[in-house]
Amino acid sequence: MKRLLPDISGVDVNMGCPKKFSVHGGMGAALMRTPDNAKSIMKALVDNFGGKISVSCKIRVLDNFDDTLKYVLDM
By annotation, the residues acting in catalysis are 17
Asked whether 59 and 15 are in contact (CB, 8 A), the reply is yes
By CB atoms closer than 10 A (0-12, 13-18, 19+), residue 66 is exposed
Report how far Cα 56 is from the mean position of its chain's Cα atoms.
7
**Closest among 23, 16, 30 to 58, alpha carbons compared:** 16
